[in-house]
């Protein structure tokens, strides 16, 4: 798949780039941002690469301009990939009418309903097509892939890890939508993309955790205590924590005093998440395990 470079900026001794490509899954042109740490461009070794998803209404620009991840990525030799969150320019009637559906929220599903099923295949795009593209064009190590996200992107990160045991070496999230079949955002998105039969709504982190039987998977979540969507029952982290506890999936859940749903939460704790991903990859390489458990701060 051919890549067209849209922009390139020197940043923390590495390069923040944006590329465009034609997507075979989404049947449209897509953009993704990629941070390449120093020497990554000239094939110096192999670098681990977290895939980072932004939240509702986001494009690839939100994470790279607001999250502040580049300094830590540069210091630790991490490639960070930030995809767009929805297909764009597909000329589907109504795709731009709502901030929580269509181009505002693809929900990382493989749509089965008209008129969305041709283009809205974000799940196979982020789990298969985009990683293949990164691995074939950059010095990324496919055995060191982690995943993270914010809000709807946190939902995306969690379901990708839970639906693909062993594919990702670690997973983290900021204020994720944890139980979408039980909240208004998820019910709107899933019914539109997947239809009314809830048996087909197989993209819910809480439900997936209840039946998870793969290799050890540790989850790190930072959640703002003053998040307006936490109070309005859109995020439902307690449901996910309960499901993980039943299945003995280790969760570090940090409830951060005074923080809301904005990118200030991400900027404040992104380094913790990058270090967590790095540490977990190192521990797995050494054949060990890391200690995790539920924690409220």
DSSP 144: S
The dihedral through the CA atoms of 203, 204, 210, 216 has a sign that is positive
CB-based contact 74:38 (threshold 8 Å): yes
Of 49, 261, 277, 280, which residue is the catalytic one? 261
Active site residue 49: no
Of 218, 222, 227, 276, which residue is the catalytic one? 227
Of 69, 74, 86, 151, which residue is the catalytic one? 151
Lookup: tokens for 219:
């989850």
Task: Give residue for tokens 């209404």.
Answer: 57
- What's the gap between Cα 112 and its chain centre? 22
**Cα(189)–Cα(218) distance, rounded to whole angstroms?**
27
Lookup: tokens for 83:
């995809």
**Which residues sit opposite 78 in a β-bridge?**
48
CA distances, 8 to each of 74, 85, 181, 243 (Å)? 15, 21, 40, 43
Helices (H), the chain: 60-66, 70-76, 122-124, 130-137, 152-163, 184-194, 205-210, 228-231, 237-246, 263-285
Active site residue 151: yes
CB-based contact 71:267 (threshold 8 Å): no
Q: What is the set of active-site residues? A: 151, 227, 261
């Amino acid at each position: 798949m051919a890549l067209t470079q849209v922009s390139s900026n020197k940043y923390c001794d590495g390069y923040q780039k944006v590329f465009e490509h034609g997507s075979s899954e989404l049947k449209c042109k897509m953009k993704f941002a990629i941070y390449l740490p120093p020497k990554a461009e000239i094939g110096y070794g192999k670098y681990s690469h977290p895939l980072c998803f932004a939240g509702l209404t986001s494009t690839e620009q939100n994470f790279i301009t607001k999250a502040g991840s580049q300094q830590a990525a540069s210091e630790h030799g991490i490639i960070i990939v930030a995809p767009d969150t929805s297909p764009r320019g597909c000329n589907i009637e109504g795709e731009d009418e709502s901030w929580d559906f269509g181009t505002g929220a693809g929900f990382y599903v493989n749509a089965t309903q008209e008129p969305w099923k041709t283009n809205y295949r974000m799940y196979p795009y982020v789990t298969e097509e985009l990683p293949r593209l990164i691995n074939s064009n950059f010095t990324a190590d496919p055995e060191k892939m982690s995943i993270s996200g914010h809000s709807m992107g946190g939902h995306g990160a969690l379901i990708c890890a839970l639906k693909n045991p062993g594919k990702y070496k670690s997973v983290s999230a900021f204020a994720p939508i944890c139980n979408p079949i039980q909240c208004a955002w998820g019910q709107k998105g899933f019914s539109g993309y997947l239809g009314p039969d809830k048996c087909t709504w197989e993209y819910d982190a809480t439900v997936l955790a209840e039946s998870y039987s793969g290799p050890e998977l540790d989850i790190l979540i930072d959640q703002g205590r003053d998040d307006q969507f936490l109070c309005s029952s859109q995020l439902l982290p307690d449901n996910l924590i309960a499901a993980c506890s039943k299945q003995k999936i280790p969760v570090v859940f940090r409830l951060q005093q005074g923080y809301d749903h904005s990118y200030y939460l991400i900027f404040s704790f992104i380094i913790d998440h990058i270090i967590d991903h790095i540490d977990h990859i190192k521990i797995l390489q050494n054949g060990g395990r890391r200690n995790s458990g539920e924690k409220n701060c």
